[in-house]
Amino acid sequence: MNEKIPFRKLFFMFWAFFKIGAFTLGGGFAMIPLMKEEFVDKLKWLKEDEFLDIIAVSQCAPGAVAINSSIYIGYRLYGLLGAAIAVLGTVLPSFLIILAVALLYAKIRSMPAVQRAFRGVYPALVVLVMSAAINLWKAAFKNYVDMGIAAICLAALFIFDVHPVFTVLAAGISGVLFDLRKEHGEEGDIG
C-alpha cells in the first residue's frame, strides 16, 4: 500500500486483534468465531466467504491458524504494516499472560481454586472450538460434493490416520476437479 495509513486506523485494528487475543482461551481455532464476529459481522471489514478463504489458506500454511489469519487479515486491510500490527495485537496478550503465568504458576498450581478454575475452563474451550466448526460448516457446505469431500477427509484423518497436510491437499485437488466439472455443466448443488 502506497498511501499513508492514519495511526487511528492502525491502532483500532491493533485493538481489535488485541481484544481477541486477550479473551480467547484454547488456541487458534477458538479464535475463529471471535474473528468472524468481529471482522465479518460487527466491523464488516470482510465478507463471510472471504473470511472462509482466509481461514482455509491459514490452515494450509505452516504455523498457528490464529497468527496466519492475523497476518492475512492485517495485510488485506493495511498491507505489510497492517500484517505486522495485526500479529502484534494477536500475540501480545498471550505473551504477557503466559509470562505472568510462568512467573506465578509454580507458586499457585497446587491451590484448589486454580485447579477447579482450569477444570471449568476445559469444557468452555471445547465449546469454542465446536462453535468455530459450526460457523465454518454453515458457510463451507454449499453442495453435496462439499459434504462428500468433508466425509472423506474425516475418514482419512480419524480412520486411516492420514496427515492433515495431505488431507487438505487432496481436498484442494478435489475442489479444483469439482470446479472443472461445474464448467462442463455437471453440478451437485444442495436444493
**Residue 176 included in any domain:** no
pLDDT at position 146 is 87
**Residue 171 included in any domain:** no
Could you tell me the maximum CA-CA distance found in the chain, to the nearest angstrom?
66
0.95 exceeded by pTM: no
Which position has the higher pLDDT, 15 or 57?
15
**Residue 90 included in any domain:** yes
Domain interval for residue 41 = 7-107
> Has residue 156 got a pLDDT over 90?
yes
Lowest pLDDT segment from 80-94, 117-131, 147-161: 117-131
Angle at the Cα of 46 from the Cα atoms of 40 and 48, rounded to 5 degrees: 60
**Residue 30 included in any domain:** yes
Q: What is the dihedral of CA 151, 157, 160, 162, to 10 degrees?
A: 120
d(CA 191, CA 182): 16
**Residue 18 included in any domain:** yes
**Residue 60 included in any domain:** yes
Kindly indicate the confidence band of residue 177, based on its pLDDT and cuts at 50, 70 and 90.
Answer: confident
Report how many domains make up the chain: 1
**Residue 44 included in any domain:** yes
pLDDT in tens, 54-71: 988 888 788 888 899 999
pLDDT at position 151 is 93
d(CA 38, CA 11): 15
**Residue 62 included in any domain:** yes
Kindly indicate the confidence band of residue 180, based on its pLDDT and cuts at 50, 70 and 90.
Answer: confident
